[in-house]
Amino acid sequence: MAQRERPNLRARLAQKKLLVAPGVFDGISARIADQMDFEVLYMTGYGSVASNLGLPDAGIATYTDMVGRVAMIAGNSKTPLIADGDTGYGGLLNVQQTVRGYEKAGAIAIQLEDQEFPKKCGHMLGRRVVPIEDMVDKIKVATASRDDSNFLIIARTDARTTLGLDEALRRAEAYCKAGADILFVESPESLEEMRTIGRTFDKPLVANMVEGGRTPVLDQKTLEEVGYSLAIFPAFGFLAAGEALRRVYSHLKQNGSSVDADVPLYKFNAFSELMGFDAVAEFDKTYGRK
């Protein structure tokens, strides 16, 4: 089957209007978000590891775990997908394999970070970063490994929390010079720090909006004014889903039934349609036994 033409994300980011990407983490979240007319989706590493393995985003998931998730989400969505590639899952040869794999799987961009292995979620304490030269080499390998220049490389630095904002800015500048298409200074801790990041770079910037995380969650207008091009909301969906599940399971435990549960539910027939059962019915009409 011919591969879909990859959208020109670089041209979209140049428009200076904030691009908002909801975090998706499994087949259900991706199908729902895909119906909402977003311009792009973001495959969250935290959510993907939690939903797929039931484990923390702490360097446990492998390249095989994650590239399979990329292929599943991209293959079932019409909306372009940006995907978390962690540290590239190893050394420079692994980075080459990861970039090629994510590109082939259907993503339009990959996010790579400068943490030491095993990595941690970007809003946790205790993160350590590799020497700046090592990450520069990773970015150079990543940009050289893609087949399509429209497949973009997002360079993330996790230096702010442990080493301070100045070191994070120094690293982002080096990653920009190495060829990164988009810069991601993770977990600034105030609006003023975010303004500093926006003033420092004439390059598309990622704002990571994590409810309850280390960075202020800002409205769309403020993010645009500060200078961000792409806002990802990785946790919003799985935090909402987790709370909904906690409520329905609690009700079931206490009452022994779903009767009178005060939780909004997706209509069963609509959910079945969402998951593709109408297509199954049509298939059966065509190919099923008469």
Percent of the chain with pLDDT strictly greater than 90: 90
Question: Is residue 109 one of the residues assigned to a domain?
Answer: yes
Residue 5 has pLDDT above 80, yes or no: no
**Out of 86-90, 122-126, 205-209, 242-246, which region has the weakest mean confidence (pLDDT)?**
122-126
pLDDT for residue 2 is more than 50: no
Which tokens hold the place of 160? Answer: 């702010």
The pLDDT, as a whole number, for residue 124 is 66
Number of domains into which the chain is organized: 1
- Whether residue 283 is contained in a domain is answered as no
Order of strands, sheet of 230-233, starting from the edge strand that comes earlier in the sequence: 182-185, 152-157, 109-113, 81-84, 41-43, 19-24, 230-233, 206-208
59/44 Cα distance (integer angstroms): 14
The answer to the question of residue 289 being in a domain is: no
Q: What integer is the mean pLDDT of 123-145?
A: 92
For tokens 């806002």, the residue is: 231
Cβ contacts of 15 within 8 Å, gap of 6 or more: none
Model confidence at 109, pLDDT cuts 50, 70, 90, reads very high
Taken in order 275, 278, 283, 288, the sign of the CA dihedral is: positive
Q: What is the pLDDT of residue 181?
A: 98
201 domain-assigned: yes
Range of the domain at 229: 9-241
- Judged against a pLDDT cut of 70, whether residue 27 lies above it is answered with yes
Q: How confident is the model at residue 17 (pLDDT cuts 50, 70, 90)?
A: very high
- Tell me the pLDDT tens digit for each residue of 153-189: 999 999 999 999 999 999 999 999 999 999 999 999 9
Residue 145: alpha-carbon gap to chain centroid: 21
The whole-chain average pLDDT of the chain stands at: 94
> Token pair for residue 197?
């990041």
pLDDT at 240: 97
| Amino acid (one-letter) located at 247 | R
Confidence bin at 59 (pLDDT 50/70/90)? confident
Query: Residue 3 above 60 pLDDT?
Result: no
Query: pLDDT of 180-228, one tens digit each?
Result: 999 999 999 999 999 999 999 999 999 999 999 999 999 999 999 999 9
> Residue 119 carries which DSSP code?
P
Percent of the chain with pLDDT over 70: 96
Is residue 262 in a domain? no
In this prediction, residue 1 carries a pLDDT of: 33
In a domain, 236, yes or no: yes
pTM score: 0.94
Q: Do the beta carbons of residue 19 and residue 39 sit within 8 Å?
A: yes
Q: Where are the beta strands (DSSP E) in 124-215?
A: 152-157, 182-185, 206-208
Rounded to an integer, the average pLDDT of 238-267 is: 96
pLDDT at 63: 95
CATH number assigned to the domain comprising residue 53: 3.20.20.60
Q: Is 253 part of any domain?
A: no
Pair 13, 206: CB distance under 8 Å = no
- Token pair 């039931």 in the structure block, residue: 54
Residue 288 falls inside a structural domain:
no
Task: Compute the average pLDDT of residues 252-259.
Answer: 97
